[in-house]
Structure 1
Amino acid sequence: MSDQGDGQDEEQAKRWWRRIPWIAICTVLTALIGIASLAFTGVATFYGAEVAKDQLDQSREQADEETRWQASRVTYWIDAASRTPSVHIMNRSPDPVSQVSMAFFVRLPDGEQNLLFPVAVGELPPCSELVISMSALRYSKGTAWNKESWYFPVAGRTTSLVADQSVPHGAWFDGVPRFDFVDREGVDWNRSDGDLELGGYGFNSGPLWGDTAAKAWVGQAMGTERLKTAFCGDEAT
């Protein structure tokens, strides 16, 4: 009897094993593996795309930095604290820049009248600084700026402007509406409120903004001083 019972138990065990839906289980496992594989592929593709995007952005930033390298080292600043206020134009790069032009306002001591000084520098050598002192400025009383023309005193060009009025003590620099130049690659740049931007107007064209320019009396710089910059090729703005 014992042997017969053991045989029945073994047969029942075999039948239980056979009752398991192995095909269905294998199908489900295969599907799960496929889903996991797709998920892994999707994640890998996503991260791969993110890495490629980061590399592209980095390449663009590097190219932009290379494009802006020289231009970022060409700038101006106004020394208003010294006994004789002055405008400083600097090229702190080891290469020259060309077609440098700017315009700045000077406010007379009464605070009512603005003077406009358009200045064409031309080429600015490497590692150099141009200083335009307030004492070198002359203006024509009552002569409004002509929007169709520029005056080129620094570049040595002739002008019919009769600027015979010295800027009186107590006047102050009152803004730089434009500053343009062309870098070594022939790219035009400008600084608006000190910020460097692509594009420039050049010597003979382009607006000066607002009614302030239209109502200003025009003047010119009668002389400049050229200096060597203290830093060259290092700091940028």
Structure 2
Amino acid sequence: MPSSPTDGAPESRKIPWVHVGTALTVVAAIGGLIFTGVTTYYGTKTSSDQLQQSREEDEKEGRAQAEQISFHMSGGNSSEDVHIVNRSSRPIHDPRAIFWIEFMGVDEKLERTYYTTGWAGDLDACQELVFSSADFDPAPPPMRRHVRQGDPQILLLNFTDQDGKKWNRTPDSLKPQPQDSGMPAPPDGPTGNVTAAPKTEEVKACGDKAS
């Protein structure tokens, strides 16, 4: 009887199916690990991006109120009233300002005094505080009308927003401050304070109506 073509085939020519199956299992396991790693990476990255986006949105929302807080000084010479204005739809807390006034001294030179508003309390939505120059201590001496004085200027406004976040506003910047930070000190030089409580006035351009 003729022998089968496979009969007596050399051992080296037989396919080791057990080893092939094992190898395929290993390859499949490695592929699964790679897929799991890629999926985990992109899942983590997506979560991180979402968290970062949420933080940016919270920061933007928190900054929105602070950007609606402003200040100015009315008039010049003998009418350097200080105005702190809240055009937001929520109150702020403990707004304090540092400002300076220049006047002609006895030696015919301009002298500068730095003042701090000494009042602490809440400033409600759509309200402004007005600190009268009559309450500055020490009071600036009478102005020389025929000599141009330096325009008074507010250097800094420090306040806490509705969410308890502290801010420093200058004529050129708006920056958050550490929670444990106090009121910054005025520059070196003669200093004074505003001794009386301010007047409170309504702000017409406010909230959604603010320009």
TM range (shorter): 0.5 to 0.7
Partner of 1:141: none
Q: 1:116 aligns with which of 107, 110, 114?
A: 114
Q: Partners of 1:59 and 1:21 in 2: how far apart?
A: 57
Alpha-carbon spacing, 1:195–1:170, altered in 2? closer, same or farther (3 Å): same
Q: Which has the higher helix share?
A: 1
Distance 1:166 1:98 in 2: 34
Alpha-carbon distance in structure 1 between the residues aligned to 2:63 and 2:92: 13
Cα-to-partner distance string for 1:56-96 (whole Å, 9 max, x where unaligned): 23333344445445334323356899xx8875422112233
Question: CA deviation digits over 1:143-167, x for unaligned, max 9?
Answer: xxxxxxxxxx4xxxxx8x4525245
* Partner residue in 2 for 1:173: 152
**Distance change >3 Å, CA 227–CA 14, structure 1 → 2:** farther
Unaligned runs of 5+ in 2: none
User: How far apart are 1:118 and its partner, in Å?
Assistant: 1.6
For 2:94 and 2:126, how far apart are their aligned partners in 1? 16
Cα distance in 2, alignment partners of residues 125 and 172 from structure 1:
29
Aligned partner of 2:53 in structure 1 is 58
Matched, 1:99 2:94: yes
Kindly tell me: are residues 120 and 209 of structure 1, through their superposed partners in 2, closer, same or farther at Cα, counting changes over 3 Å?
A: closer
Q: Displacement of 1:191 after TM fit?
A: 1.0
Q: Are residue 128 (structure 1) and residue 123 (structure 2) matched? A: no
Matching of residues 5-20 of structure 1 within 5 Å: 11=5, 15=9, 19-20=14-15
Offset of residue 102 of structure 1: 0.8
Checking the alignment, whether the CA contact within 8 Å between 1:72 and 1:196 is kept in structure 2 is no
Cα separation, 1, equivalents of 2:207 and 2:27: 64
Q: CA deviation at 1:101?
A: 1.5
Q: Is residue 196 from structure 1 mapped to residue 175 from structure 2 by the alignment? A: yes
Normalising by structure 2, we get a TM-score of 0.66
Number of aligned positions between the proteins: 198
Amino acid at match of 1:190: W
| Distance (whole Å) between structure 2 residues aligned to residue 118 and residue 18 of structure 1 | 97
Once residues 30 and 196 of structure 1 are traced to their aligned partners in structure 2, the CA distance between those partners, rounded to angstroms, is 59
The answer to whether the Cα contact below 8 Å between 2:96 and 2:158 also exists between their aligned partners in 1 is yes
- Consecutive unaligned residues of structure 1, counting only runs of 5 or more, are 139-152, 154-158
Corresponding residue for 2:192? 218
Q: Is the 8 A contact 1:180 1:188 kept in 2?
A: no
Change (3 A) 1:207 1:51: closer
**Quick one: which amino acid aligns to residue 115 of structure 1?**
T
- Once superposed, what is the RMSD of the aligned Cα atoms? 4.3
